[in-house]
Structure 1
Amino acid sequence: MHPWIADRTTTFDSSGIRKVFDLAAKLKDPVNLSIGQPDFDVPDPIKNAAIEAITSGKNAYSPTQGIEPLRQALRQQIEQTYPGQDRDVFISSGTSGGLMLAMMAMINPGDEVIFLDPYFVMYPALLQMCGGVPIRINSYPDFRLDAAKIEAAITPKTKMILVNSPANPTGVTATPAELEAVAKLAKKHNIALVSDEIYSQFFYDGDFASPATYNDQTIVIDGFSKSHAMTGWRVGYVHGPSEIMRTMLKIQQYSFVCSPQPAQWGAVRAMEVRLDEHIEHYRQKRDFIYESLCDLYEIAKPNGAFYVFPKVPSDGAQTMTATQFVEKAIERGLLIIPGNIFSRQDTHFRISFAASDEQLKRGVEILRSLALS
């Protein structure tokens, strides 16, 4: 290792998802069901608002906490959802930026953070950058949010519980009862509760629920990247107790500085754009991919996000690892993600159904042939 490289960088590897993206660029006409971003473009009213901001000179730094029209629109929404709570809001550089600020604001070296396995790839890496200790709770085979399992993992070093619903990579959503149990558990033990709600708009069955309803100290992280296809715009937001928000902002001043100002003006417009049609299309994609594969693969039906996380089928003798299975899929031109990127297990693989209907049909054909071969 180069002598200038910091020790903290050796505690995690580069994202395996990025390696698949690099591979995709080398394949000719692959069926790409690996990318975790919507297949539709940013709606025109949002583009036009950002263009207007650029042409009218709104190109400088914004206030670190974000432009006031966006914060005010979010504040009104938050106050309606969580009336009477001490809940401030600021604009982060994407939800990834919000997650990093939350870790840096609250995690000391040696602090333990509990989250479900499988998990979003960034969680353990961010924690280890801060010197935190990831505590992974095995949620196989159904990927439910089980408060009893979480409570059993709590120690005097536990600082935070990190919840993601709807979840990446499984698409599974926690029920209101499950979220309430974990929210009350965090309050009982005086543990920080962070809720990653970036897929809150992609909710197909029932109504979206947040643990912040049951625990007013919950730190909520959300944004516009997935809901409005603005992944490259880097506009997220964080809301929670005002003292925690002030501390996160202090760190943002010396790191990200602010989210890009023109993109924030686009986000103001985004709050007025209805997503019903897109969400309905994704519900149909969810139904198609699940119903086309559930007879051959063990799948927990996703209620949100745009992922399914099937188990590698067994031939009755020796079961392939997910990595081996994905290699076979890639040989046939299908790009999916092996589960060991999101988990300590290598038994499942992630499919993103944020793709065209034609791509999904081709992908299903390959996956069915792999299961039957």
Structure 2
Amino acid sequence: MSSRPHPIQRHNTAHDLFLEFHKHRPQSLRKIKEEDESEGHPLANEVPLDFEMFQHVMKTGVIYATSRARVRGFDPEDPEWANMGQGAPETGPLPGAPPRDFHMSIEDALLEYAPVTLCQFDNNVISHSLPSCDTYVMAKGLKELRVKVAEYYNHLYRQGKDSKYTYENVCIVPGGRAGLTRCMAALGSTQVGYFTPDYTAYQQALGLFVRITPSPLLHKNADEALMPSDDFKFQATGRGLGAMLWSNPANPTGMSLEGTELDAYVKIARDLNLALIADEFYSHYYYDGDAVDPVNGGADDDSNWPKTVSSAAYVQDVDIDPVLIVNGLTKNWRCPGFRICWIVAPKPIIEMLGSAGSFLDGGANAPLQKLSLPLMELDFIRRDAWALQREFKKKRDYLLTELARIGIAVKWKPTATFYIWADISSLPCPLNDCLVFLEECVKYKVICVPGVFFDINPRNIRNVRNNKCINFVRFSYGPPMSNLETGVQQIEKMIQYWKNNPESVAMYQKESFGE
């Protein structure tokens, strides 16, 4: 192997583990690197010379946290481990939820590229598929599923409006990340705004294409969970944004922009001709609605829907307003393994997204698109959303109560998602550092995600010497209640140990990080 210098530096794994544990990168974190390399997860600063034609591909927050847990023997099947870092909801049956039938026979037609315009559907059976269906057609998805997605948005958010979505406003994609990548690939040379903290995978999406210039929008008031529409308009106008990528409800804070403020965001996008790319993957996870749950005496029919929120409600013309909605079965329908998601947008944009899909991902799995059709029946969605909110609210309230009891604060009580953005600043130092907190958690068989991973910084465009997320961690209450109970018990033991055995930052760096 050659000994010449490695020219390629890695691109930000949580800002190079927050600039090498706050010393602003004077030394490497040897112990973590050695442990990760022994597990096949190198964290070296440079690409090995054997493969120097590749760049270093950074870890997202969940992957990094899981890799640290694997060093300590993490096994997802081991009930002693509490994975409160996972970004997926529990997938099993929920009390009161409608049954889900996941059995099907795969016909020959479904072995072809997923058709759209070239095939007919009768009694939920594809009658014929022409082999001439190409990847462009396939990249948009099954027409029947696209029809149901359009009906879903029209029924929930566009009743009484003249402009309605059709299947031509829908593109089926193989997962949310694929949808975001298609959006980024279809954009021209423009600035794309984003918030911090926000979903960790946005960092790669915003940094992948050279035509895109990432542009962070910063809050004037650090105590705000959401940016007021007036501030958004000021920054979007002044920066000359061509697009805005954001999660609503927000990952990791669980806060939601809705009502007049969400309406204002859509209007700003319309007036500025700014593509508003709304990641709405948690739009069914709301806990503050006014409707009465059927189990508490509310009507159990189409007149009584639980609270959901979408930008679609504020679009004036579905083919003119530059609003792109990314959603799918992953979170709201609790089917992350299906990798069936969609983008809803003006027809001309859907055409561009179909073209992007033909060379990026080729389209979503055809049999699973077919299997998804019963899940898009409106009565199923209504009943399933009620059950989801009922059970996840219990888990949210449990975790909020228990975290407060053991001394972990929550700055913003989440109104949506299944995440809690926990403030650990009051814990003993250096346990109040999110990187240290994770390192200690995995010793107690608990996984969470350090806050620095949500301080996204595509292409390292920002100086992050001072990181505003260092005293935060994200806990997920996506797992079953038993998982949360185990996690809280173990975290409480960890905190108590630290209170009884305080340790200086310098000593921790030396003993635990090998410096």
TM surpasses 0.5: yes
The answer to whether structure 1 residue 45 and structure 2 residue 100 are counterparts is yes
Structure 2: unaligned runs, 5 residues or longer: 1-7, 9-50, 116-137, 290-306, 456-466, 500-515
SS of residue in 1 equivalent to 2:110 = coil
SS of residue in 1 equivalent to 2:215 = strand
Matching residue of 1:22: 67
Kept in 1: contact 2:182–2:357 (CA 8 A) = yes
Matching residue of 1:135: 215
1:355/1:315 CA distance change after superposition, 3 Å: closer
1:336/1:317 CA distance change after superposition, 3 Å: closer
The answer to whether structure 1 residue 85 and structure 2 residue 167 are counterparts is no
Measured against aligned partners, the alpha-carbon deviations of 1:42-74 in whole angstroms (never above 9, x if no partner) come to 8863412xx33x256522210322112211111
The answer to whether structure 1 residue 60 and structure 2 residue 74 are counterparts is no
Matching residue of 1:301: 413
Matching residue of 1:330: 442
In the aligned structure 2, how far is the partner of 1:192 from the partner of 1:4? 35
1:371/1:174 CA distance change after superposition, 3 Å: farther
In the aligned structure 1, how far is the partner of 2:443 from the partner of 2:239? 48
In the aligned structure 1, how far is the partner of 2:430 from the partner of 2:450? 18
Matching residue of 1:125: 204
Structure 1: unaligned runs, 5 residues or longer: none
**Number of equivalences:** 364
Pairwise CA RMSD? 2.4
Amino acid at match of 1:362: T
Matches within 5 A, 1:1-373: 1=8, 2-5=51-54, 9=55, 13-25=58-70, 26-27=73-74, 29-41=80-92, 45-48=100-103, 51-52=104-105, 54=106, 58-63=110-115, 64=138, 65-80=140-155, 81-82=157-158, 83-85=161-163, 87=165, 88-108=169-189, 111-131=190-210, 132-138=212-218, 140-154=222-236, 155-206=238-289, 207-216=307-316, 217=321, 218-272=323-377, 273=380, 274-275=383-384, 276-294=386-404, 296-299=407-410, 300-315=412-427, 320-343=432-455, 344=467, 345-371=469-495, 373=499
Measured against aligned partners, the alpha-carbon deviations of 1:7-32 in whole angstroms (never above 9, x if no partner) come to xx56x622232122234443263211
TM-score using structure 2 length: 0.66
In the aligned structure 2, how far is the partner of 1:354 from the partner of 1:316? 28
From the CA coordinates, give the structure whose radius of gyration is larger.
2
TM-score using structure 1 length: 0.89
Kept in 1: contact 2:426–2:432 (CA 8 A) = yes
Measured against aligned partners, the alpha-carbon deviations of 1:120-160 in whole angstroms (never above 9, x if no partner) come to 11112111111223223345444223223323433454111
Kept in 1: contact 2:152–2:376 (CA 8 A) = no
Measured against aligned partners, the alpha-carbon deviations of 1:325-348 in whole angstroms (never above 9, x if no partner) come to 221222222111101111153221
Amino acid at match of 1:297: I
Q: Which moved more, 1:280-289 or 1:186-195?
A: 186-195
1:219: Cα distance to partner?
0.8
Measured against aligned partners, the alpha-carbon deviations of 1:239-288 in whole angstroms (never above 9, x if no partner) come to 11111111111111222222101110121111133312233111110111
